[in-house]
Structure 1
Amino acid sequence: MSLQAIAFTFAMIPAMLQFHLSYAYCKETIDFPLNGHIQGTAPVLAKQPNYIVVGETHGTMEIPLLVAVLVRSASSDSKTVLCLEIPKTEEQRLKTSLKSDGGKEAVSAVLSSSHWSSKDGRAGKGHFSLLELCRRLIQEGHDLNVAAIDIDPSEIPDPSKEGFTPSKALDFARKRDKVMAENVVAVANESPGANIVVLVGNVHASLKKGMPWDDEYEPMSKHLKQMLPDVISLNTLTSGGEAWVSTDRGVGPTNMSGEDRGETPFLELFDRPTNGYSGILYVGKITAATPARH
């Protein structure tokens, strides 16, 4: 073996160890919390089909795992599609992974894409765990599929490039939510009668027009409400903890405040939409989801 090959092998050891840790985590420690049940879901799922949007704080372990529980219940006796805030360009890779044995090669194939190189919470172990649990459900016979609904990242305006303006950023944000809504509707049309569960950031999940930074901004769920019947949009409520987020101090675990409503997660619908949501998915304490790919 040449000196260059030896040097390369030693240089790869940290990455190989990190990958092994990620793989071991995915295969050995992921499981459905709460014995597969969330209080309050039965009355919601009794109506078929369902269009349920869950708005999350990206970068937690607990929220994606609760969504896995929701998807498990929804797909136990009905076709269900889980729509994720992942670029649509990743969809074929996701579908291949869902049909795999979940082994090292399959995990490596998923994590090798540019999406999982991001430090964004959507590329964390929480979301990867959700995909692994979906793969297991499919193996167990659940009629379940996963769709990627986000816009192509190449379209994101780059502030460092000539010609960038704040108005272009606003235009992109508006376009992005509309495209995501259209992608969800396309999924619903391709799977008539299926339950559609959508996991996105809580801003995209709002049913209300306007945000502090843009009065004309229409979130994805508001668009959806105009395209699909009886859309239920849930904001996640936590008792606090940490999430993996990007702040002006850097990227990493960040303290998050919340409202303590006990240790048991539950789903609660309001009498009428409140603050842009149909109800809440109470999560309890949250912990930060480190990147799935190190």
Structure 2
Amino acid sequence: MLALFVAAALSTTPCEPPEGHEVLWTPENRFVVVGEIHGTREAPAAFAELVCAAAEQGPVTVALELPVSMQPQLDAFLTAPDEPTAAALLQPTIFGDASWADGRTSIAMVDMMQSVRRLRVEGRDVTIRAFQPSNPRPAGFDQNYYELDMASELVEAAASRPESRILVLVGNIHASKTHFERIDLMPAAAHLPRKETVSLNVAQQGGQSWSCQAEECRVYDSIARYDAEARGVIMGPVSEGAWDGVLAVGPVTASPPMAGEPVQAPEAISAGSSS
């Protein structure tokens, strides 16, 4: 009986990572960046499985596009005794604020975070780190400074746990490794060491997402630009090297915000949308 108890206590959740994930875990890849269209069920779920696979090999820091001011609540979330308590700890944050409804506070995001918490309960060396700047930019400091601040937070996350691989889930523009000439933007991932960074764009294969566009947050159709039948991690330069490959999850479905549906998208969220 004691042996059975010990075996149960040591059991771990099996990982089901996307096909082709193995190429991501080379020793030089300190940063694995996944760029998504916010507000889908599938992208956070696939990201959670990548975290699970990475955690089988060593320490992992999960970096999320959430305000750095949330870090105390994220730390408490990870150490909560059970899932309902963990979810309740998010309620006073942007997850409980219906005005933050651009997809980063979706039910799918909470599910992904709960999966990371379960890995920690099972004994994996995982943590969650917020890296979105909390303070508004001063006048005259454009989006490029915001991207630089995000990259700085990611570098700090790596430096604070040098033995850890950094898995980043962020809007796909932030995940680009090249300069966007049309809008004169150097994204966050472009500031990270190129030889230590691999970036994937979640392939647009149709379906729907929950996002904020113009003045309204709601379900929007997702454009199909990639083979809808493709699945897994598919390496090869995308958009002239903006991303190193794609994460193909198939046609997506929308995941609404944890706090419910707002009537209107606040200006600050519309302006900060990254997808």
Given the alignment, which residue of 94, 100, 109 partners 1:114?
Answer: 94
CA contact (8 A) 1:268 1:279 kept: yes
1:151 and 1:176 in contact (8 A); partners too: yes
Match for 1:58: what amino acid? H
Q: What SS class does the counterpart of residue 107 from structure 1 fall into?
A: helix
The normalised TM-score by structure 2 is 0.82
Q: In 2, Cα distance between the equivalents of 1:73 and 1:51?
A: 15
Q: CA deviation at 1:129?
A: 1.1
Moved over 4 A (4+): none
Structure showing the higher helix proportion among its residues: 1
Equivalent-residue separation in structure 2 for 1:256 and 1:271 (angstroms): 22
2:177 alignment partner, SS class: coil
1:39 aligns with: 19
SS in 1 for 2:175: coil
Please name the residue that 2:136 is paired with: 155
Q: Distance in 2 between the 1:174 and 1:110 partners?
A: 30
Query: For the residues of structure 2 that align with 1:234 and 1:259, how far apart are their CA atoms?
Result: 15
C-alpha contact 2:95 2:259 (8 A) present in aligned 1: no
Question: Residue in 2 aligned with 1:202?
Answer: 172
Separation (CA, whole Å) in 2 of partners of 1:42 and 1:180: 27
The structure 2 residue matched to 1:130, chosen from 112, 120, 123, is 112
Taking the aligned partners of 2:128 and 2:118, their CA distance within structure 1 comes to: 13
**CA deviation map 1:197-256 (0-9, x unaligned):** 1111011011111253x22x2100111136xx4211111103210000112362111001
Instruction: Please list every run of 5 or more consecutive structure 1 residues that lacks an aligned counterpart in the other structure.
Output: 1-31, 158-163
Q: Which residue of 1 aligns with 2:249?
A: 283
Q: Which runs of 5+ in 2 are unaligned?
A: 1-12, 261-275
Letter paired with 1:222: A
8 Å Cα contact 2:15-2:52 kept in structure 1: no
CA contact (8 A) 1:37 1:73 kept: yes
Displacement, 1:172?
A: 3.6
Q: How many residues align?
A: 246
| Alignment check: 8 A CA contact 2:32 2:167 kept | yes
Aligned to 1:29: none
Letter in 1 for 2:243: Y
CA–CA distance in 1 between the matches of 2:200 and 2:18?
14
What is the TM-score normalised by the length of structure 1?
0.77
**1:225 touches 1:231 (CA, 8 Å); kept in 2?**
yes
Largest Rg, 1 or 2: 1
Structure 2 residue identity aligned to 1:140: E
2:95/2:257 contact within 8 Å kept: no
1:119 to partner: Cα distance: 1.2
Counting aligned pairs with the same residue, the percent is: 26
Counterpart of 2:193 in structure 1 is 225
How does 1:1-294 map onto structure 2 within 5 Å?
A: 36-47=16-27, 50-117=30-97, 118-152=100-134, 154-155=135-136, 168=140, 171-212=141-182, 214-215=183-184, 217-225=185-193, 229-248=195-214, 250-259=216-225, 261=227, 263=229, 265-270=231-236, 274-294=240-260
Compute the displacement of 1:260 (Å).
5.2
Identify which range, 273-282 or 191-200, moves more after superposition.
273-282
Partner letter of residue 209 of structure 2? A
Q: Distance in 1 between matches of 2:216 and 2:259?
A: 18
Distance, in Å, in 2 between the alignment partners of 1:240 and 1:74 is 28
Displacement of 1:271 in angstroms is 6.0
Superposition deviation, residue 109 in structure 1: 1.8
Please state how far the C-alpha of 1:156 moved relative to its aligned partner: 5.3
Q: Distance in 1 between matches of 2:94 and 2:237?
A: 42
Q: Deviations over 1:98-136 (max 9, x none)?
A: 111234343122122135411110011121111111011
Contact 1:177 1:218 in 2 (8 A): yes
Indicate if the aligned counterparts of 1:260 and 1:284 stay in contact, CA closer than 8 A. Answer: no
